[in-house]
Each structure stands twice: as C-alpha cells, then as structure tokens.
Amino acid sequence: MGTFLPVATSPLLTTRFVNVLHWAAELHARQVRETHDIPFVSHLLAVAALTVEKGAILLPAELLEDAAIVALMHHSVGDIGLPLELFESISHNVQAAMQLLCQDCPSAKTEPKQAYVQRLINGTGEAAAIAQLVAAADHLDNLRFYTDQGRSLWKPNDQPFYEHFLEQVNVPSEWAEEMELLLERLRQPVRSRTGAGVI
C-alpha cells in the first residue's frame, strides 16, 4: 500500500492559481534565460515554488494564493507590458504587490535600484508582506542561476544592490544565509578548467 500525503480540508491553491499558471506559461512561452535555451518560465515556477513553501509558514493562509500568483506574474508588467490595472480583477493585494515589485515598469525604469528597495520597505500591510517575500524569492533564484549557470552574466557592480537588499528587506533567515553564501561564491574568480577531465 502506498503512502498517502495529508489532505487539506479545502484546496490551498484554487483554480484561480491554475488559471494564472496557464496564463503565465503562455505569456512567457517564447522567452528564455540569458544565453541559455532554458525556458524563462522555469524562473517563474522556481520563484512561485519558493514563495508557496515559505509563504505557507510565514503568511496568513488567506494570502498564500495571492502571493503565489504575484510570484508567477512578477515579470509580466515590465517584460510583457501588461497594465497594472489588469491585476485588480484578480485581487487588490495582487495589484498592490505588483506595483511595489515593478522594477521594469515605464515609471520605474529610470529610477535607481535603491529606490526599488525603498519602495519595498516603505510598503505597508498585506501587499507589502507579499511583495517582500516574492522579491526575496526572485533574488534568491537569480543568485542560484548566476552561480550555477550564468557566471559570465554576473555583473560585479550588482553586488552592492544585493547586499543593500539583504540589509534592508525582511528576507527569511534561511534564504538570507544562502544568498550571502552565493554572493561570496560570486566574489571569487572563476576557476580555470584547464587540465580538468571532461565527463
């Protein structure tokens, strides 16, 4: 007999999440991660997974689905050009969190990165809690990518931004520790593979 997982009394992620998941996959279907033929949707799925796993612990249950949706859609305004007003039909918290997160919106493209961090920490209420969690998940997944597959894409002048983000934003402690370790690895020069065996 197989082992059965515990069952919630009602779905924690409803058809609303499923519909947005399908929508995000379609919107970003042709995008790939920089210099790699990795579907960009992999980043959205990773950020959503991190957000759901940590959000189930840190957020009120009624905010979990909104946070998961924001994680899936956090590039849709800057990269795809969806209007922020569109998210009001999903929920007010989703729209407000997207506004706080937006780094690539027309109104935010000319602002310094520190202004983005300031906007996150100045936010209040449920939307701010969602935005800060999704932002932390986003930056953690980006650092994982740069460390594992994108060292040639890493810009050392981005280091102060990540350090500032960790200092100012309420990042879950386990994530903060991992991000600090990844930043330390990125500070190190890339080791030469000369003489190493290739499998």
Summarize pLDDT for 65-105 with one digit per residue, the tens. Answer: 999 999 999 999 877 888 888 888 899 999 999 999 986 56
Whether residue 22 lies inside any domain: the answer is yes
Whether residue 50 lies inside any domain: the answer is yes
Cα torsion 96, 84, 170, 165 to 10°: value is -150
| Joined tokens for residue 92 | 């007010």
| Joined tokens for residue 105 | 């919106």
Supply the mean pLDDT for the chain: 89
Whether residue 6 lies inside any domain: the answer is no
The parent domain of residue 30 ranges over 15-187
Whether residue 149 lies inside any domain: the answer is yes
Q: How confident is the model at residue 107 (pLDDT cuts 50, 70, 90)?
A: low
> How many domains does one find in the chain?
1
Task: State the residue for tokens 């969690």.
Answer: 133
Whether residue 171 lies inside any domain: the answer is yes
Surface-to-core class of residue 170, CB atoms within 10 Å of its CB (0-12 exposed, 13-18 middle, 19+ buried): middle
Whether residue 9 lies inside any domain: the answer is no
Whether residue 199 lies inside any domain: the answer is no
Whether residue 152 lies inside any domain: the answer is yes
Which CATH number fits the domain that encloses residue 100?
Answer: 1.10.3210.10
